[in-house]
Amino acid sequence: MSFYTAKGDDGTTGLLGEGRVPKYHDRMEALGALDEASAALGLARAQCAVPQTLPILLEAQRDLYKLMAEVAATPENAKQFHFIDAGRVAWIESQTDELSEIVEMPKEFILPGDTLGGAALSLARAVVRRAERRVVVLFDDGEIPNPDLQRYLNRLSSLCFVLELLENQNAGRKTSLAKETS
């Protein structure tokens, strides 16, 4: 078994379906950002200390894998890869809502870095936001029809923020505010 195909040596890559697109195509930019988001969530999962965080992040990574498949699918094949829907958005909202009951919302912008897990979650949140922007471009250009993809990513970034607060709180660290308070 080879770990490379050399098919992309011409600067193109295949989709889930017929056809190839340039590696710099907006769809490939979105897929790259989604892949980075999953990797960032994995890094956060490896660093987090709060036990309830780990299964939430693992499930979100699995959702991103399915979301990537939908983004990578050609219009003819998109339906068979449709997984992210209002139910998945509701799941992520419920996770965020439950955690919001046990964390204190800061009154100002915060600085990442109070704990290793919190910092990793802050990075993941920023990467998820970039992935969301890339997916919105595809939706606005009519390349992907599912509005739940961008809704899911928007909620995922909020979930990462709440998990960051939880990590910091669990470690007994006061969250650093962007504005110095005297």
Please check whether residue 6 lies inside any domain of the structure. Answer: no
What mean pLDDT do residues 117-134 have?
Answer: 97
pLDDT at residue 175 tops 90: no
Question: For the chain, how many structural domains are there in total?
Answer: 1
Residue 182's pLDDT band, with cuts at 50, 70 and 90, is low
Please check whether residue 11 lies inside any domain of the structure. Answer: no
Mean pLDDT of the chain: 91
Q: What is the CATH number of the domain that holds 138?
A: 1.20.1200.10
Residue 138 domain boundaries? 22-170
pLDDT at residue 74 tops 90: no
Task: Read off the pTM.
Answer: 0.90
Q: What is the pLDDT of residue 181?
A: 58
What mean pLDDT do residues 146-150 have?
Answer: 96
Please check whether residue 178 lies inside any domain of the structure. Answer: no
CA distances from 2 to 6, 11, 17, 108, 112 (A): 10, 20, 22, 51, 41
Residues 182 and 180: their CA atoms lie apart, in Å, by: 7
pLDDT at residue 57 tops 90: yes
Most confident of 14-18, 77-81, 84-88: 84-88
Please check whether residue 98 lies inside any domain of the structure. Answer: yes
Please check whether residue 1 lies inside any domain of the structure. Answer: no
Residue 44's pLDDT band, with cuts at 50, 70 and 90, is very high
Please check whether residue 5 lies inside any domain of the structure. Answer: no
Phi first, then psi: what are they for 14, rounded to 5°? -85, 155
Please check whether residue 109 lies inside any domain of the structure. Answer: yes
